[in-house]
Chain A
Amino acid sequence: MGAHPDGIALEARDLRKAFGGVRAVDGCSFAVPRGKISGLIGPNGSGKTTTFNLLTGLAAPDGGEVLYRGENLAGLKPYQIFRRGVTRTFQVTRIFREMTVLENMLSVTGLDVPDRVARARAEELIAFVNLTHLRAEYGGRLSYGQQKLLEFARALMTDPDLILLDEPAAGVNRTLLQHLLDHIHRLQGQGKTIVIVEHDMNVIMNHCERIFVMDGGVKIAEGPPAEIQRDERVLEAYFGRRR
Chain B
Amino acid sequence: MTRVEHLRNLALLGACAVALAILPHALTVYLRSFVLFTMMYVVLALSWNIISGFTGYTSFGHVAFYGIGAYACAILVADYRWHWLPTLGVGAVLAAVVGVAIGYPVLRLKGPYFAIAMLGAAEGTRVVATVWDGLTHGGLGISLPSAETSLETYYAMLVLMLLTVVVAYGVGHSRFGVRLNAIREDEVAAEALGINATLYKLTAFTLSAVFPAVAGGIQAYKVLYIDPPSVFFVQITIAMALMSMLGGKGTVIGPIVGAILLYTAQELTWVNFPTAHLIAYGLFIVLVARFMPRGLMGFAIDRGWVRKGMVH
If A94-B189, A96-B181, A107-B195 touch, whether A118 touches B175 (CB-CB below 8 Å) is yes
Which residues of A sit under 8 angstroms from B27, Cβ to Cβ?
none
Task: Of the listed stretches A3-11, A32-40, A76-84, A229-237, name the one at the interface; the rest are far from the partner chain.
Answer: A76-84
What residues of chain B have their CB less than 8 Å away from a CB belonging to chain A? 175, 178-179, 181-182, 184-186, 188-197, 250, 307-312
A79 near B194 (CB under 8 angstroms)?
yes
Q: Please report the total number of A residues contacting B with Cβ < 8 Å.
A: 36
Chain A 96-120 residues near chain B, CB threshold 8 A? 96-100, 102-104, 106-111, 115, 118
Tell me the complex Cα distance, A110–B175, Å: 12
Asked if A88 is at the interface of the complex by the 8 Å CB criterion, the answer is yes
B181 near A99 (CB under 8 angstroms)?
yes
Tell me the complex Cα distance, A155–B192, Å: 9
CB pairs A–B below 8 angstroms (26 shown): A56-B192, A57-B192, A79-B191, A79-B196, A79-B197, A88-B192, A90-B189, A94-B192, A96-B181, A96-B182, A96-B186, A96-B189, A98-B181, A100-B308, A100-B309, A100-B312, A107-B179, A107-B181, A107-B195, A109-B179, A109-B194, A109-B195, A111-B194, A115-B175, A118-B175, A136-B312
Contact of B188 among A58, A103, A138 (CB under 8 A): A58
Tell me the complex Cα distance, A26–B309, Å: 45
Contact of A102 among B197, B250, B312 (CB under 8 A): B312
Query: Least Cβ distance of B80 to chain A in Å?
Result: 44
Residue of B nearest to A137 (CB): B308
B185 near A96 (CB under 8 angstroms)?
yes
If A94-B188, A136-B309 touch, whether A99 touches B182 (CB-CB below 8 Å) is yes
Chain A 210-238 residues near chain B, CB threshold 8 A? none
Which residues of A sit under 8 angstroms from B194, Cβ to Cβ?
79, 82-83, 108-111, 158
Asked if A48 is at the interface of the complex by the 8 Å CB criterion, the answer is no
B195 near A79 (CB under 8 angstroms)?
yes
Which residues of B sit under 8 angstroms from A87, Cβ to Cβ?
192-193
Asked if A16 is at the interface of the complex by the 8 Å CB criterion, the answer is no
B192 near A97 (CB under 8 angstroms)?
no
Asked if A154 is at the interface of the complex by the 8 Å CB criterion, the answer is yes
B308 near A106 (CB under 8 angstroms)?
no
Tell me the complex Cα distance, A94–B308, Å: 20
Which residues of A sit under 8 angstroms from B186, Cβ to Cβ?
94, 96
A78 near B181 (CB under 8 angstroms)?
no
Which residues of A sit under 8 angstroms from B192, Cβ to Cβ?
56-58, 78-79, 82, 87-88, 90, 94
Query: Least Cβ distance of A145 to chain B in Å?
Result: 18
Query: Least Cβ distance of B279 to chain A in Å?
Result: 32
Q: Lowest 5 CB-CB distances: which A-B pairs, in order?
A: A100-B309, A96-B185, A109-B194, A110-B194, A94-B189
Residue of B nearest to A82 (CB): B194
Residue of A nearest to B182 (CB): A107
Residue of B nearest to A101 (CB): B309
Tell me the complex Cα distance, A95–B189, Å: 8
Query: Which residue, B185, B195, B250, B307, has most C-beta atoms of chain A within 10 A?
Result: B185
A106 near B193 (CB under 8 angstroms)?
no
A103 near B181 (CB under 8 angstroms)?
yes
If A106-B175, A106-B178 touch, whether A136 touches B308 (CB-CB below 8 Å) is yes
Contact of B178 among A107, A111, A157 (CB under 8 A): A107
Residue of A nearest to B190 (CB): A107
Residue of B nearest to A119 (CB): B311
Tell me the complex Cα distance, A155–B307, Å: 26
Tell me the complex Cα distance, A54–B202, Å: 26
Residue of A nearest to B189 (CB): A94
Tell me the complex Cα distance, A2–B191, Å: 27
Tell me the complex Cα distance, A102–B307, Å: 13
If A94-B186, A118-B175 touch, whether A99 touches B195 (CB-CB below 8 Å) is no
Tell me the complex Cα distance, A98–B310, Å: 11
Query: Least Cβ distance of A224 to chain B in Å?
Result: 30
Tell me the complex Cα distance, A88–B192, Å: 8
Which residues of B sit under 8 angstroms from A104, Cβ to Cβ?
182
Tell me the complex Cα distance, A137–B308, Å: 7
Query: Least Cβ distance of B297 to chain A in Å?
Result: 12
Query: Least Cβ distance of B48 to chain A in Å?
Result: 19
Query: Least Cβ distance of A129 to chain B in Å?
Result: 16
Tell me the complex Cα distance, A98–B193, Å: 17
Residue of B nearest to A96 (CB): B185
